[in-house]
Structure formats: C-alpha cells, structure tokens
Structure 1
C-alpha cells in the first residue's frame, strides 16, 4: 500500500512549523516522529519513507529551516524539544518511536527528558551522544570544527537551482548516491536572496544550535536521565565521506560505557549523510525503524 505524502503546519511559539507527513490510505502499522539534522529539512527522510508505506511518519522542519525558516525566537535543544511536543499534540501521537538524525538525535534525547511520557523509544542516527570536540573553542571555531564546509555554504549565494545542485553533485558525500529525491531535497532548501538563491538555514541559527548542543546543559542532563529504550546507528564515514565518521571507535567505546543502556550498530558502507539520504542507507535503516515502532506497539498493547 503506497504512502500518501502531504505538507501541513503546526503552531508553535513564534510562528508555524512546517511538517511533512507520509501516511497509508488505510490503518498504519506504526508511527514515528522523524527529526532531521542541523541544516536539513523533512525531505531528508524521503528515501526511508518510500520503504515504509504502511507507517505514518511525521517529519517537521525544525525552526529556522526549510518551511519553518521564519519561526521567530531562540533556537537550541530545549526550544526544538518544545516544538516537537506541539507536533506530537497536533497529530495525537501517543508516545511513538522518535527518530533523530545528526542534530535531530540530540533534540530527540532532550525531548525524551523534557516529556518522558511522550516518547516510546529512541532511534538515533549518527547523533544524540556527545561528539569528541575540544573544549574552549570559540563559537565560530566550534561550528567550523563540527560542520566545516557545511557551515561555509550557508553564506554562499547561487545563481539558480541548477548551480546549487552542481555544488552538491561535486560534494564527496554524494559521489555514489545522487538521486531524484536528493534533487528535490536540495531544491526545497533554497530561498530568494537578492539577485540569487541561498540555503534556507542561516549561519546564525546553525551556530546557535551547534553551540547549545555542545556547551549547553540540556543534553548532558537528558543523557543522565535517559530511561527510554534507545538504539544508536552510526556511519563509518563522516560529512566529507572521510574515515572515521563522527564517532571514532575509541570515542564510541567510551560513550557506550557511559551509557550502557544504549544499543549500538554500525551501518556499513555509508557516510553521515547517506546513512539516511540514499537508497543504500535507507535499506539498512528502514528495518530498524519498523522493528522499533513495532516493539513500541507491542509494549503499548501490553499495558
């Protein structure tokens, strides 16, 4: 049964959050809230959604991104978590599986602490546990260290959509994985800027979230309180398709010792982006997502 895709909006403090929804025509076999990364949008989930036509998948654009770029007010993990509660309310989602990619994983962890009765399970995709970043960096250096060229492009202007697609075609992360879904995803990212186009996410929003994620208290407190069944999937390569990925082996071992309740699996032959935004990555992740949502449904039925 193919999934139907639509876009809607949910009121939050400061404006309306854009939300993409994939849902079957009949009864859903499960549901999940999908939270994207720091400069991304809900269309990052298109490949995974295509493999889960029987599920209801609710995927917001975080404030400051995509169709939610004009939502006013501060960002940060706590603000995003509050927005996610509003989305759960709007769709009458009762403690579903929450899936977070990259920064979305950190938002998911903070959400599980802020509203523990609203989250059934967590599936973290290359995010959610602290990265190994040197202490004492300035905000600018922190953003550059964590995001590198991903942050630099936020200040760039492109003549047209084709020029932006050419920029990403040359990116090493997508050398083997260019798809029509990616073209839709990148085109959706663009907004008018003078005589050209620029990414919807601003550098200022990215910096605010990146600094809060690494230096704020919300994530550390949330991890100390983590009680929700949690699985972490990691990619062996990073944002530029380099090895190691965001979680080098020694760092990951340390984190799994600190948080022994977190189950872990490395997804082979993907990078930080293609873990989610490629057919290969989606084929690996979709069964984990379906299994986690099914586990949640069985737990709910047993209560």
Structure 2
C-alpha cells in the first residue's frame, strides 16, 4: 500500500496496475474499508482509496462537509491519479460516487450497498434522531472513548454484524480508525462531519435521484441482503431497489448472497465478488 496526500486528503494506492479504481468509503469508515477488496484484484489493476475529510487521516481537514463537498474531493483525486476506469462507493460513499459520476463519465460505476435515495422523511421528523436510529452503534461509538486498541477491537467483535465473521482485514480496518492516547482513544471520524453528511443523506433525496438518473456510465448496484446490525432486511430493501431500477433503466441490481452491510466488503468471499464486479473479470 502506497500512501500519498492531496490537499490534506490521505489517499492509499493498493497495487500498481495501470487500470485504476477510485473507491469511496462510508459515513464513519476510512480508506481501509477497501483493503479486502483490493487484495482480490487481478493483475493489471490498482485501487485508490481516500480518507474523506473528517475521517481517518483526513480528520483535521475543515468543513463544510456534505456529499457535494466529498464529490468535489473525489474528482480531485481522480485527476491527481491521472484518471480512473472505475468509480465505486460503499454506503454513504455510494451517494458521493453518484454525485461525482453525474459530472464525469467512467467506464464503470459500481455502488456497494449505497447510492439509492431514501424515501422522504415524514413531516416533523427529527433528522438527527432518524439518522441515529438507522446507524445505531456506528453513531454511538463516535462519542465513546476506549482504554486500548484491544478494547476498541473487542467493541467491534461484539457488534452483531461481525458475529462469526471476524478476520484480519476487519481488525486492520478497526485499528486504523483509532486516534488519541491510551485511556482516551476514540474513532477518527469527526462527529460533526458525520452529522452534516447524515442530514444530507436524508434531506437531499431529490438531488441524489436526479444525479443517479443522469449518469451515462454503465451502472451496477451490489446490495447486501442483511443490514448494519445483521438484521434480515438490508439497508437498501428490495422495494427501494425495484423503484430505482424501474426509474433508472440502466441500473443493474445484484444481491450479494449471505452478507451484511459491513461484510459485503470485509468477508473474503463477498470481497472477491465485489472485486470481480469492479474489474469485469
């Protein structure tokens, strides 16, 4: 893995292949979310992932945040690396990828359990409460501190999404996320960045829908059948996918069997399938 920085954004390149994938992580994640997928790329490919501002080693970059700002950062990275054949995003990163792909064509755009606008919230709904209810422990941990890296790892190992699914890639992803001193370690994700981006996810559906419909690149959606807490309904349920595939005829929908919102990237079998779809192999 080669590390670089572009205007304060941490980027990592996995592999040295001439064909490039630019990958965008989720709302409380980091570039290490893509490590397992990158490890499954065939020869001739490389994957470039970034820490979005307010996350990972880009946590000190100032706001404003928001999905449009992230899309601008992503396109800067694409230019910095000399262009890319493929753009992909997981979870919130899928929405960022949609906004970026609406401005610039790619040979392929792959959305991984993200990118489909949600139905509007009922009038009077507290947006922050709705976001917390959806993201659950991912939001709660941003306010927590941990005594040691091992206690942070144990927190994730107890997460329902990782029950029976813990592996070296998951541990590397978790350990990368820590900042601070022993006794007061915390996630690198900045709470205000997460709040701003979460509000945009729930309130800017019309803008995201228009961007999704405007993409001219071949467009694939890979969905996890189980959710963030390994519940039996995924973050993007069948009804939502059916609505958007009907509205955007060029959108190809595929369910990745036997995974949840996290393990679609971190489980070896699921990560290998994602790598296949990214490269068309």
TM range (shorter): over 0.9
Aligned to 1:251: 240
Aligned to 1:221: 210
- Is the Cα–Cα contact under 8 Å of residues 12 and 48 in structure 2 kept in the other structure? yes
Aligned to 1:301: none
- Is the Cα–Cα contact under 8 Å of residues 108 and 218 in structure 2 kept in the other structure? yes
Among residues 61, 85, 101, which one is paired with 1:96 in the alignment? 85
For the aligned residue pairs, the C-alpha RMSD in angstroms reads 1.7
Deviates more, 1:164-173 or 1:212-221: 212-221
Return the structure number with greater relative CO, CA threshold 8 A, min gap 6: 2
1:44 aligns with 2:33: yes
Q: Could you report, residue by residue, the CA deviation over 1:213-246 in whole angstroms, capped at 9, with x for unpaired residues?
A: 2212542331232222100010100000111101
CA distance in 2 between counterparts of 1:53 and 1:223 reads 29
1:144 aligns with 2:136: no
For this pair of structures, how many residues does the alignment match? 278
Aligned to 1:79: 69
- Is the Cα–Cα contact under 8 Å of residues 146 and 182 in structure 2 kept in the other structure? no
Secondary structure of the structure 2 residue equivalent to 1:276: helix
Unaligned regions of 5+ residues in structure 1, if any? 295-303
Q: Which runs of 4+ in 1 moved over 4 A?
A: none
Aligned to 2:113: 126
- CA shift, 1:250, in A, is 2.0
Q: How does 1:2-41 map to 2 (within 5 A)?
A: 5-11=1-7, 16-24=8-16, 28=17, 30-41=19-30
Unaligned regions of 5+ residues in structure 2, if any? none
Secondary structure of the structure 1 residue equivalent to 2:266: coil
Among residues 79, 97, 105, which one is paired with 2:94 in the alignment? 105
- Is the Cα–Cα contact under 8 Å of residues 65 and 197 in structure 2 kept in the other structure? yes
Q: 1:163 to 1:195 in 2, by over 3 A?
A: closer
Secondary structure of the structure 1 residue equivalent to 2:220: strand
Q: 1:109 to 1:125 in 2, by over 3 A?
A: same
- Is the Cα–Cα contact under 8 Å of residues 21 and 87 in structure 2 kept in the other structure? yes
- Is the Cα–Cα contact under 8 Å of residues 36 and 102 in structure 1 kept in the other structure? yes
Among residues 184, 190, 197, which one is paired with 1:196 in the alignment? 184
- CA shift, 1:29, in A, is 5.6
Deviates more, 1:44-53 or 1:58-67: 44-53
Aligned to 1:58: 48
- Is the Cα–Cα contact under 8 Å of residues 225 and 257 in structure 2 kept in the other structure? yes
TM-score by structure 1 length? 0.87
- Is the Cα–Cα contact under 8 Å of residues 274 and 280 in structure 1 kept in the other structure? no
Q: Could you report, residue by residue, the CA deviation over 1:79-102 in whole angstroms, capped at 9, with x for unpaired residues?
A: 001101110111111x52101110
- Is the Cα–Cα contact under 8 Å of residues 145 and 184 in structure 2 kept in the other structure? yes
CA distance in 2 between counterparts of 1:194 and 1:75 reads 29
Q: Could you report, residue by residue, the CA deviation over 1:110-146 in whole angstroms, capped at 9, with x for unpaired residues?
A: 0012x324x3321000001113463332232121132
